Amino acid sequence: MLFSSNYFILLFLPASLLGYQLLSRLGRTALLTWLALVSLFFYGWWNPSYLLLLVASIILNFLFSRMVGPKSNANARSGWLFTAIAANLLLLTWFKYLFPLLNFFHRQGLIRHGFADVLLPLGISFFTFTQIAYLIDLRQGIAKQQGILAYTVFVTFFPHLIAGPIIHPREIMPQLEGDRLGSLRSDDMALGLSWFILGLGKKVLIADRIAPLADVLYAHPTSFGLTGTWLGVICYSMQLYFDFSGYSDMALGLARMFSIEFPINFDSPYKAPSIIEFWQRWHMTLSRYIAEYLYTPILQMVNSRRMDAGKKVSRKAQATLEGFVQMIFFPTMTAMFIAGIWHGAGAQFLIFGLLHGVYLVVNHAWRLLTPKGSSLHGKLPVPLSILGTFLCVVVSLIFFRASGVRDAVYILGTMVGVHGVGPVFNSNPLLQEIPRTSVFLTKISTATVAIAACFVIVWGIPNTQEILGQLKRDTVRLSSLLPRLMWRPTAAWSFVLMVLFGLSLLMLDTSTRFLYFQF
């Protein structure tokens, strides 16, 4: 079930809120039971057979948590944790990687028989890594042992079940305690509903309208010339931006309606002046997960080995070739290699991850060579840094979106003129595939104006968290075209949001699924 669907907006969400309110007088157990049931129904709506997989995963990991927790045998905890992580990764490998890998070997002639792809369960990466994080935090004493009801809600709560944010136990478990759960609050309902509507507008009115041009380009990469390819590639970068930004807003808004606060997951990443900051703003909970459970343990292992060998682990040591390779290059490339594989089984996702690994290594090298106070520090103008970062991201997203490495390389070649200027964009017959609701994109002039409008929104207007006053992170901000734009529970804002909501409802019939649902 999509957040941007009639079934969800007009039936599921009102019923979930009404049931929650009616049961609020019966206490914590009743509310947790209700949230677990509606969340499982939400997941099972897509494919009831995979609901059994989700339930089995929850039960198995809950049992593992009993073996890893503080009440279990202290000597066996680490062994049980290793077994639990291995079991989770085995499940993920079976559904996400095994058969694509076997088919790759088949295409290379290494094995005789091909295999049919297994339908990927929605959100399997998210609910698998969420549970792994809980087990690790439990083993380290960071998380508390939970009962089956609270644990089920932690894993399945429908606003984050399919595509995140990836929640830490310490963030949501305290909010599920008895004194925090209760009847719906009017202030949280107003804020949450506003948040949801703003996200819905991003998804339905922007992302889904500019998606067709990108879809046509990536479906027929050899059929477009220089202009069409550039427009299609930029369209996809904006589609992904508004699609995931819209999803993140809706997820946080839905949780807030139930008076549950999720961590911010998207913070204007295209405004980032460096790749390091880009990853601090894009899918922020995934970046945090990679840093805490991949990058930091690898770096700690490297530093421990260096100290055992009598070598330094200081910033000065990182500036040496050996120190840079061991303490920056190796942990960064390893973490981003795994991050690339996490996004998909194809070689194009591997290249996507390695590209960003290279970007981050170069960024770290630049920071080491130009520390604060040096003659080179801060010499690049911020707009130029932002533009350079954006172009690096656009190149990586070609591999992220393309159906294979060959298509991605061809698109890159077209963008730099290797394949000539190509046919005139407006006359390409493939543009007839674009739906009537996005037919304006079939002309260069209107497509360019649409993309320019997206840039104005991305770079010139405060993001949703800033408008709603929910940004808690102290970050240097770009000047805004509307610096005083601030949400208030007023009649004027209610009117604007109702208009936006009405327009979004009118366009729901052409809405596509969220792009991150495939992961």
Torsion of CA 185, 194, 172, 10, to 10 degrees: 80
- pLDDT at res. 303: 94
Burial class (CB in 10 A: 0-12, 13-18, 19+), 414: buried
Confidence at residue 476, expressed as pLDDT on a 0 to 100 scale:
45
| Residue 197 confidence (pLDDT) | 97
Q: What is the pTM of this model?
A: 0.92
Of 249, 17, 35, 282, nearest in space to 152 by CA: 35
Q: Which of 127, 273, 253, 110 is closest to 189 using CA atoms?
A: 253
Q: Please report the pLDDT score of residue 426 as a whole number.
A: 74
Q: Which of 190, 191, 235 is nearest to 216 (CA)?
A: 235
Read out DSSP for 185-206? -HHHHHHHHHHHHHHHHIIIII
How far apart, in Å, are the Cα atoms of 494 and each of 378, 406, 501?
43, 49, 10
Identify the pLDDT of residue 103.
73
How many Å from the N-terminal Cα to the C-terminal Cα in the chain?
Answer: 16
Nearest to 286 by CA among 353, 239, 347, 237: 353
Q: What is the pLDDT of residue 115?
A: 67
Tally of residues, the chain: 519
Amino acid at 495: F
One pLDDT digit (tens) per residue for the chain, 519 residues: 889 899 999 999 999 999 999 999 998 999 999 999 999 999 999 888 889 999 999 999 999 999 998 877 777 888 999 999 999 999 988 888 877 777 777 677 777 777 666 677 888 888 999 999 999 999 988 888 889 999 999 999 999 998 889 988 888 888 988 677 889 999 999 999 999 999 999 999 999 999 888 999 999 998 889 998 999 999 999 999 999 999 999 999 999 999 999 999 999 999 999 999 999 999 999 999 999 999 999 999 999 999 999 999 998 999 899 999 999 999 999 999 999 988 887 889 999 999 999 999 999 999 888 876 665 655 678 889 999 999 999 999 999 999 999 999 999 999 999 988 877 777 788 887 788 777 778 788 888 899 999 999 999 999 999 999 887 654 545 567 777 788 998 999 999 999 999 999 998 865 567 777 665
Distances (CA, A) of 170 to 17, 141, 164, 262: 25, 11, 16, 11
Q: Say which DSSP state 10 is in.
A: I
- pLDDT in the model for residue 377: 57
* Cα–Cα distances in angstroms (integers) from residue 182 to residues 26, 178, 261, 474, in the given order: 9, 8, 14, 32
383 cis-preceded (ω within 30 degrees of 0): no
pLDDT value at residue 117: 65
87: amino acid identity, one letter: A
pLDDT of residue 206: 94
Distance CA 80, CA 127 (A): 19
